[in-house]
């Protein structure tokens, strides 16, 4: 009887220790959050939670926000290149129209059209000059941002918390029971869920180096 009495505190301590493990804490946070994300909260049926350490910059949402902003800078540069191309085409079209209307004898209407096309060409050339300056500036902004992202991606990893993968069953809006996976970033104190990873996020994290190198290589390709 004395032996059993002696073991009971140890069993209780082991249960408390297990209940306060990083996995148990993360699981409690996720289970509390999940019903708020479902069409039918009452249908929520947790299956399992798995955690792994998360490190800056690879698992830092703010780092990926900066990557997105850098991509938008590239998109702006690309849009300007497209607008320059379209403007060139409009100039060429006006020049062809002038050639077609020119001749030894032209009517008053044709003279009017030629003047109008020449005026439009002058306006388009001014626009071209402005667009080229904007494009060159946009490239420099993008190039600088891409280099900063590359440098940041190569910094020594710093522990920032845990990634939690949570599998569960629930009812969808078609009244079907399905199995889903959600992915969260939990702070290192295991007190808060600080980010919900999307499929796009997970793909970029999986291909971390390739994602960053792609931005830098595009900057180099443009410069060459």
Whole-number percent of the chain with pLDDT over 70:
92
Distance CA 57, CA 192 (A): 19
Residues in the chain: 224
Query: Minimal CA–CA distance to 191: which of 158, 168, 161?
Result: 161
Residue 211: predicted pLDDT: 92
**φ and ψ of 48, to 5 deg:** -160, 160
Residue 18: predicted pLDDT: 56
Widest CA span in the chain: 123
Contact call for residues 188 and 51 (beta carbons, < 8 A)? no
pLDDT at 5 > cutoff 60: no
pTM attached to this predicted model: 0.81
Render pLDDT for 67-117 as a digit per residue (tens, 0 to 9). 999 999 999 999 999 999 999 999 999 999 998 888 767 888 888 999 999
Residue 20: predicted pLDDT: 85
Whole-number percent of the chain with pLDDT over 90:
77
Contact call for residues 44 and 168 (beta carbons, < 8 A)? yes
pLDDT at 2 > cutoff 50: no
Residue indicated by tokens 């919900």: 196
161: left (phi over 0), alpha (psi -120 to 50) or beta: left
Torsion of CA 195, 197, 200, 205, to 10 degrees: 90
HSE-up of 74 (CA within 13 Å, CB side)? Answer: 20
pLDDT at 162 > cutoff 80: yes
Residue 214: predicted pLDDT: 92
- Overall average pLDDT of the 147-155 stretch: 96
Residue 31: predicted pLDDT: 96
The residues, any chain, with a CB within 8 Å of residue 44's CB and separated by 6 or more, are 34, 35, 38, 168, 169, 170
Render pLDDT for 119-132 as a digit per residue (tens, 0 to 9). 999 999 999 999 99
Render pLDDT for 169-206 as a digit per residue (tens, 0 to 9). 999 988 899 999 999 999 999 999 999 999 889 999 99
Domain chopping of the chain, boundaries: 69-138
């Amino acid at each position: 009887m004395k032996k059993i009495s002696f073991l009971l505190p140890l069993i209780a301590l082991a249960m408390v220790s297990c209940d306060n493990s990083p996995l148990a804490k993360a699981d409690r946070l996720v289970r509390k959050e999940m019903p708020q994300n479902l069409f039918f909260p009452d249908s929520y049926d947790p299956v399992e939670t798995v955690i792994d350490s998360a490190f800056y910059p690879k698992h830092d949402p703010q780092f990926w926000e900066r990557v997105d902003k850098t991509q938008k800078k590239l998109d702006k540069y690309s849009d300007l290149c497209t607008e320059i191309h379209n403007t060139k085409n409009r100039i060429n079209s006006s020049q062809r129209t002038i050639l077609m209307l020119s001749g030894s004898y032209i009517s008053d209407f044709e003279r009017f059209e030629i003047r109008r096309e020449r005026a439009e060409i002058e306006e388009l050339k001014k626009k071209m000059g402005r667009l080229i300056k904007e494009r060159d500036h946009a490239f420099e902004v993008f190039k600088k941002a891409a280099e900063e992202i590359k440098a940041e991606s190569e910094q020594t990893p710093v522990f920032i918390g845990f990634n939690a993968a949570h599998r569960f069953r629930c009812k969808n809006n078609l009244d079907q029971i399905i199995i889903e996976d959600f992915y969260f970033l939990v702070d290192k104190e295991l007190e808060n869920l600080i980010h919900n990873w999307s499929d796009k996020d997970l793909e970029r994290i999986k291909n971390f180096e390739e994602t960053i190198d792609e931005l830098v290589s595009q900057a180099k390709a443009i410069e060459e």
